Amino acid sequence: MQTFTTIVAIVAVIGVIWGLIKRYETRLVLITGGLVMAFLSFKPMIAFHQFDKSMTNPNLIIAICSAMGFAAVVKLTGCDTHLVSLLTKPLKKLGLFLLPACGLVTAVVAVALPSTAGCSAAVAPTLIPILVRAGFKPAIAAAMIIGGGIATSPFLNPGVSHNAFIAKMAGMDVMQLIAFSAPRTVGLGILAIILMTVVCVVYKDYNKNQTEEEMEANLALGGTAGNASLPEHPNVLKAIAPLLPVVILVVASIWFKDLKVSVGTAMLLGTIYVFLVTRANPAEISKKFFDGMGEGYAKIMGIIIAAGVFASGLTAGVVGDLVEFLKHAQSVAKLGGSVGPFLLGLITGSGDAAAFAFNEAVTPHAAEFGMSIPSLGVLAAFAGAFGRQASPLCGGLILVAGIAGVNPMDIVRRTAPVMVILLVCLYIVS
């Protein structure tokens, strides 16, 4: 019976990947694969329960829908064109180095917003159009955000659940653990940005001489076209509007932590600011904001919901047994702590479950195989994150794919090689 379940899971994964490559309707492919595996594992309700859970995930809904609503208002009022007009000339002077510069910006934001989806929702609507206008293809622009900027920097945030979990297990303060892991966190993060830039060169994703028509065609993929002519004299107050929510989130997280400003709050404040500086019709702004929220739920949350159903189907079958194997593979703890969470993150689009399962069962015994608890715990947490960033089922990756208007597999082809190299480096330094 177990052999049959394993075969079904393998066939389903291959079928889903094939369907995504063929560009069939993504949500249909994922939900079908998840339901088939759940039914054939005789656990059909796990898929339906996951569907309900994903539909009502407050963190994702707030971050994604509010960010897409704000992006719609920014586009309606033309604030995006003022920002681009203000920044295009000095940014274009950076040439290829604009890509790693945007990666560093994303990394800083990711420290304040450690959620992959939340950080992506905050920065992608602004950075992707800027990169595309500068001559970069939408796929590499999205890949730098998800695979470069958000590779490791979220682990510098003391609020990340993995940090608290590992620190408690090791009997350390959370900030002590962050200080312990900071050299590899920063080092691997910088390496990720450098490698993504190398990928850009290898894939020939940068054309500094692109025509206006090519630029607008690329922008149209993500629904960000429609303003071919930029204002000659940009209004600074309008230009800073698209960046305001990000600034609010960073400032609040550093100096006003007690306020607990969410992505939704920052986006709403940004919308109010847009209304004040543009003096646009408030009814039109309100309508556009909620239309954008609805579109964000339908196009992006819809795919994340479908991906959750697919992951639940895998969990009902072979993934559960694979996790159990990793828990008891103490003789190969280091290899299991790196490759295991990475593969599960790659398959399911979420690296947290595998990392937590491994750390809870195996990491307390780290001394028995010549490792420390912090070292093995961080290894598993990072490996799961790298697998997630290389998965077409990753919620944040799907989000930036939607914003960039590209297929998730186009991004994976760029992030996956980088994540594999990072995994090898992580294994060596752990």
Tens of pLDDT, residue by residue over 93-114, are 788 899 998 898 888 878 767 7
pLDDT attached to residue 360:
67
Rounded CA Rg of the chain: 21
pLDDT attached to residue 361:
63
pLDDT in tens, 294-338: 888 887 778 778 877 887 787 776 655 655 565 555 556 667 667
Token pair for residue 351? 């690296």
Mean residue pLDDT of the chain comes to: 79
What is the Cα–Cα distance from 195 to 187, expressed in whole angstroms?
12
Residues 6+ apart with CB under 8 A from 69: 267, 271, 288, 289, 290, 291, 292, 293, 296
Q: Is the pLDDT at 229 greater than 90, yes or no?
A: no
pLDDT attached to residue 111:
77
| pTM of the predicted structure, to 2 decimals | 0.67
Between 347 and 370, the more confident residue is 347
Q: Is the pLDDT at 341 greater than 50, yes or no?
A: yes
Distance, C-alpha 122 to centroid of its chain: 11
Q: What angle do CA 72, 74, 75 make, to 5 degrees?
A: 65
* 263 CB-side CA count, 13 A: 28
The residue type of 378 is V
Mean pLDDT of 134-145: 91
pLDDT in tens, 200-213: 999 998 987 666 66
What is the Cα–Cα distance from 363 to 385, expressed in whole angstroms?
17
DSSP label of 330: G
Our separate counts of H helices and E strands in the chain read: 22, 0
pLDDT attached to residue 323:
56
